[in-house]
Amino acid sequence: MIILKRNCTNLLDLTNTIKNLFEEEMNTLIVNKQTTKELYNVQYVIDKRFIKQSDGIVVLPNSEEDAVERNQFFARITNFCANQLFDDILSRQCVIQQKYAEIDLASCISFVQLIIRKNVIDLHVVVRSQNFDSNFEYDNLTYCKLMFIANRILKISIGKIFIKVVSLHKIL
């Protein structure tokens, strides 16, 4: 398990911290006939300062499928905040899970859960599999945007994003 002990202050800081971990870790495996370097069970926190600094940063999706999936996340979090959380602000039910449309497989982002306590929004994210080179920055900005959407609708403070990535990998 790799737990980042300090909060990274921005996307570049987080990306460089993870790049350094890839240099230190030597866990190389072959998955789907591709040689990969893997960081297994990575956990980190994105704080309010990082989230606010991410506003306006644009990272293009790796694929059309990624863009569609993210737009579905945005639509679902908007709907949930506007229709359910607005009525029950302490709900533990704001959990969004995606599946690939064409096949019955779990999405790479297993789920996101928005939870509000003491008038502060926190987001919990569990990621099954993430390609560092093509999705890491895009996914982290997606989580930040989910927080902005919830903040805009519910008009309460932004807290932290707690992220667990089971398999963070680079294809060699």
Per residue in 92-145, pLDDT (tens digit) is 888 888 766 666 677 888 899 999 999 999 999 999 999 999 999 999 999 999
CA angle 66, 171, 138 (to 5 degrees): 30
Instruction: Please check the confidence at residue 158 and state whether its pLDDT lies above 90.
Output: yes
Domain range summary for the chain, segments of one domain joined by +: 44-165
More confident residue, 138 or 58: 138
Percent of the chain with pLDDT over 70: 95
Q: What is the 3-state secondary structure (H, E, C) of the chain?
A: CEECCCCECCHHHHHHHHHHHHHHCCCEEEECCEEEEEEEEEEEEECHHHHHHHCCCCCCCCCHHHHHHHHHHHHHHHHHHHHHHCCCCCCCCCEECCECCCCCCECCEEEEEEEEECCEEEEEEEEEEEEHHHHHHHHHHHHHHHHHHHHHHHCCEEEEEEEEEEEEEEEC
Q: Answer yes or no: pTM beyond 0.75.
A: yes
For the segment 13-36, the average pLDDT, to the nearest whole number, is 86
> What was the pLDDT predicted at 128?
92
> What was the pLDDT predicted at 114?
92
> What was the pLDDT predicted at 127?
96
CATH ID of 44-165, from 2.30.110.10, 1.20.120.1750, 3.40.190.290, 3.30.572.10: 3.30.572.10
Mean pLDDT over each residue of the chain, to the nearest integer: 87
Instruction: Please check the confidence at residue 172 and state whether its pLDDT lies above 90.
Output: no
> What was the pLDDT predicted at 45?
93
Of 14-23, 99-108, 161-170, minimum mean pLDDT range: 99-108
Instruction: Please check the confidence at residue 87 and state whether its pLDDT lies above 80.
Output: no
